[in-house]
Amino acid sequence: MFLTLFPALMLRTFTAGSALSLVVACAAEPIAQTLPSVSDALAATLPGQPAQAADPVEMPAVSFEQWRDGFRQKALAEGISAEVFDRAFAGIEPDPSVIAADRSQPEFTRPVWQYLDGALSRQRVASGRRLLDEHRALFDQLEARYGVDRAVLVAIWGLESSFGDIIGDKSIIRSLATLAYEGRRPDFAEDQLLAALRILQKGDVDPSRMRGSWAGAMGQTQFIPTTYNEHAVDFDGDGRRDVWSTEADALASAAHYLQTSGWDFREPWGFEVSLPEGFDYALADADIRKPLSEWRALGVKGITEADDTLRASLLLPAGHRGPAFLVLDNFRTILRYNNSSAYALAIGLLSERFDGGGRVEGAWPRGDQPLSRSERLELQERLVQQGFDPGTPDGIIGANTRRAIRSYQQSLGWPADGHPTQQLLGRLRAEP
């Protein structure tokens, strides 16, 4: 999805996740709209569990009408016609549900293996196989034009919108206007709102059909407006870039985005590997990229026959006790679509599952209970107390926190995988 949610175009690390989702997908729901909002995007909100309010947000000093009139002047100065603006904003009022979604933060999470269970459901795999066969001619054209694997496109299609069945029903103009007026990222929301008005002015879609998620993501491949304007494609040649109801346009738009993000048809996204006894788990860092030949020399098993000069990073999505993956540049390209390592892993595995592969051989530590948001915050605060700098405590396990965890683990003589666990928090609690 980053195209689906705000932060994913703003962040470019393996472990930062999208910060705007709320619920867990079941097998029939679009997984990408339910991505984790905390803990490095390797978990999703547990169904039936409360969300924790985010930090207080200062209320606007002006009324919505005053904000709208000021924004109208800005939009007209940016080239939006008065007719387009007034038609788009006719009857628009703030949406309280959007503000509630924007300000909530899930307290409880579930681990990556449960996320993958939903992403790789039999229903999703069967639907993907059927659509690959049904649209064979279209995918031939897309691969020839953009050089992006058809199975990857179908995996994105499936996770973003359940193959176009669930694309969101909120007015994009209303949602973005609400976020621009009262949300936590008003400047970003205003930029997206201007981009949405440009889409209307171009005539690609009528305001009544410009619908999507509360965060402003649109269509079968869940583009935000700025991404749409840069990468959406009129593949069927009807004069409109219709990512809402035209599969060819939606899939071509995703392919175009991946192409411009660096997808290489000749290379794998990555593969599962096994690590030798005594391996240095501190090497599992997105910033560490080694040629496959070097990983092989370190005793890593399971490396494919890919070019040994290709550079890869080691991903341990559940820490040293779970499966290990070497991920290459195409994995990073998927992250540009949605900056979540769980999402990128799901796309890679699902794309292989359509052809009978994509099975994870390593055992997940299914008995582990992930840290809640308040526990992650406590972990960060206790790391600070012990002299390990995770950055400003915020409950989000990003690169700085992982580095701090590794340093602390090394001081204990533990495997330094940078993974937050209940055991780690318990050890910190025992410190004087």
- DSSP per position, 102-167: HHEEES-EE-HHHHHHHHT-HHHHHHHHHHHHHTHHHHHHHHHHH---HHHHHHHHHHHHTTTT--
Task: For residue 205, give both structure tokens.
Answer: 């879609």
| Per-residue pLDDT at 57 | 56
Query: pTM to 2 decimals?
Result: 0.87
303 domain-assigned: no
Residues 349, 350, 353, 355: is their CA dihedral positive or negative? Answer: negative
Residue 338 to residue 268: CA distance in whole angstroms:
18
| Per-residue pLDDT at 306 | 76
197 and 75 Cβ atoms separated by less than 8 Å: yes
Task: For residue 325, give both structure tokens.
Answer: 């993956």
54 and 249 Cβ atoms separated by less than 8 Å: no
Distances (CA, A) of 311 to 18, 41, 285, 288, 314: 26, 24, 13, 9, 10
282 domain-assigned: no
Residue 318 to residue 366: CA distance in whole angstroms:
10
Residue 110 to residue 264: CA distance in whole angstroms:
33
Residue 389 to residue 399: CA distance in whole angstroms:
11
221 domain-assigned: no
pLDDT per residue as tens, the chain (432 positions): 544 443 333 332 333 333 323 222 332 345 554 443 222 333 333 333 334 545 555 678 899 999 999 999 999 999 999 999 999 999 999 999 999 999 887 888 779 999 999 999 999 999 999 999 999 999 999 999 999 999 999 999 999 999 999 999 999 999 999 999 998 899 999 999 999 999 999 999 999 999 999 999 999 999 999 999 999 999 999 999 999 999 999 999 999 999 999 999 999 999 999 999 999 999 999 999 999 999 999 999 999 877 899 999 999 999 999 999 999 999 999 999 999 999 999 999 999 999 999 999 999 999 999 999 999 999 999 999 999 999 999 999 999 999 999 999 999 999 999 999 999 999 999 998
- State whether residue 52 is helix, strand or coil: strand
230 domain-assigned: no
Query: How many Cα atoms occupy the beta-carbon half-sphere of 135 within 13 Å?
Result: 22
Nearest to 365 by CA among 24, 42, 31: 42
Task: For residue 310, give both structure tokens.
Answer: 């290709």
406 domain-assigned: yes
- Count structural domains, the chain: 1
400 domain-assigned: yes
Nearest to 229 by CA among 207, 255, 257: 257
Residue 235 to residue 253: CA distance in whole angstroms:
8
69 domain-assigned: no
Residue 294 to residue 300: CA distance in whole angstroms:
9
Domain with 419 in it: 373-429
Residue 223 to residue 241: CA distance in whole angstroms:
12
Distances (CA, A) of 403 to 19, 287, 289, 409: 21, 11, 16, 10
Distance from the Cα of residue 140 to its chain's centroid: 27
| Per-residue pLDDT at 83 | 98
Strand segments (E) across 252-404: 270-273, 290-291, 311-315, 324-327
33 and 156 Cβ atoms separated by less than 8 Å: no
44 domain-assigned: no
Amino acid (1-letter code) at residue 369:
Q
